């Protein structure tokens, strides 16, 4: 008789353990799209946020409460040690990203797969079980990435901290990111032409920055307010007589890569040369990469102040 009693007692204990701690991930996102290109600063991450809830309950006693931990890893990426997205197509570039999780207070960064998170409080419903998941790609990671679509699949797992040996709740989340082909010009200032070595030639030069995603090539177009590269005498209404002064526009590459030489631009004509863009916004890693030189001959100009507005337009190649 004693053997039968022992067998019955063991079976009851095995059946009762799962009921002591239950974890459910409720309404998680099926897809998270990283975005934020418009108006971001040079240091801003590209992020995706999602709010949902994790319900984790247990017995009233502290020994079997519903406190839980989470962890995250990539699906179909055996041997991975970090979070990353893969570029679609032939590009095998891996774009790293970070994963953050919070319940209540601030975000905690999750380590990859082999480490469980800190402990989060039990919750019996979405009223007190609200959580947030954030994915972030840093600007430093994007600077070397080529434009295109990047994809990944993240597995988020939650388990009761007293029963990590038992299966937890897992959810699969698709991740998408599109890196557009962008180009940006910055650090262009007003220019004042002055004589060169007391000659009749007037000149000024400045360096500026052109950023492009992945350092892709770009072209430059220069256009003049006077419908031609002409400085008009202040107070005059036209370029009759000697009231205007022609000028020349020269752009040169001054970055650290091998590139085409400079070019003297024509009004409203796209440059024939192409130059590599800086990989960081505002050229913060290696300094400005382009130079603009304006030259004019004042030999036939009447005395006075001459002005024009020059517009530089950059386009991704």
Q: pLDDT per residue over 126-169, tens digit each?
A: 888 899 999 999 877 887 778 889 999 999 999 887 655 566 78
Q: Give the pLDDT of residue 18.
A: 41
Is pLDDT at 236 greater than 90 in this prediction? no
In angstroms, the Cα distances linking 209 to 95, 99, 105, 189, 219 are: 25, 32, 40, 11, 13
Of residues 66 and 233, more confidently modeled = 233
Domains and CATH numbers, the chain: 19-179 (2.60.40.2040), 183-316 (2.60.40)
Mean pLDDT of the 181-188 span = 92
Is pLDDT at 91 greater than 80 in this prediction? no
Of residues 193 and 300, more confidently modeled = 193
pLDDT-derived band of residue 42, with 50, 70 and 90 as boundaries? Answer: low
d(CA 189, CA 208): 8
Q: Give the pLDDT of residue 111.
A: 92
Q: How many residues are recorded in the chain?
A: 317
Mean pLDDT of the 242-265 span = 89
pLDDT-derived band of residue 22, with 50, 70 and 90 as boundaries? Answer: confident
Indicate the pairing of strand 217-224 with strand 275-276. Answer: antiparallel
Indicate the pairing of strand 169-179 with strand 31-34. Answer: parallel
Interval 256-270: pLDDT, tens: 777 778 999 999 999
Q: What DSSP state is assigned to residue 214? A: G
d(CA 222, CA 206): 15
């Amino acid at each position: 008789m004693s053997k039968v009693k022992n067998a019955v007692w063991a079976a009851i204990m095995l059946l009762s353990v799962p009921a002591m701690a239950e974890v459910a991930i409720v309404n998680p996102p099926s897809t998270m799209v990283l975005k934020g290109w418009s108006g971001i600063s040079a240091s801003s991450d590209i992020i995706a946020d999602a709010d949902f809830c994790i319900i984790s309950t247990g017995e009233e006693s502290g020994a079997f409460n519903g406190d839980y931990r989470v962890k995250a890893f990539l699906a179909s990426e055996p041997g991975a040690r970090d979070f990353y997205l893969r570029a679609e197509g032939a590009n095998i570039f891996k774009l790293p990203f970070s994963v953050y999780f919070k319940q209540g207070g601030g975000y905690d960064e999750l380590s990859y797969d082999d480490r469980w998170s800190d402990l989060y409080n039990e919750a019996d419903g979405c009223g007190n079980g609200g959580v947030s998941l954030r994915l972030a790609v840093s600007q430093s990671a994007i600077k070397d990435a080529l434009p295109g679509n990047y994809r990944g699949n993240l597995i988020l797992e939650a388990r009761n901290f007293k029963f990590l040996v038992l299966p937890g709740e897992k959810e699969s989340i698709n991740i998408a990111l599109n890196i557009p082909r962008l180009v940006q010009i910055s650090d262009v200032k007003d220019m004042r032409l002055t004589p060169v070595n007391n000659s009749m030639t007037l000149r000024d030069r400045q360096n500026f920055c052109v950023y492009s995603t992945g350092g892709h090539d770009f072209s430059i177009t220069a256009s003049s307010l006077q419908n031609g590269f002409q400085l008009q005498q202040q107070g005059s209404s036209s370029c009759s007589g000697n009231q205007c002064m022609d000028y020349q526009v020269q752009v040169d590459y001054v970055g650290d890569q091998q590139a085409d030489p400079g070019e003297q631009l024509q009004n409203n004509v796209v440059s024939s040369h192409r130059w590599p863009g800086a990989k960081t916004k505002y050229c913060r890693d290696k300094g400005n990469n382009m130079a603009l030189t304006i030259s004019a001959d004042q030999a036939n100009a009447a005395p006075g102040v001459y002005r024009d507005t020059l517009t530089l337009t950059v386009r991704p190649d």
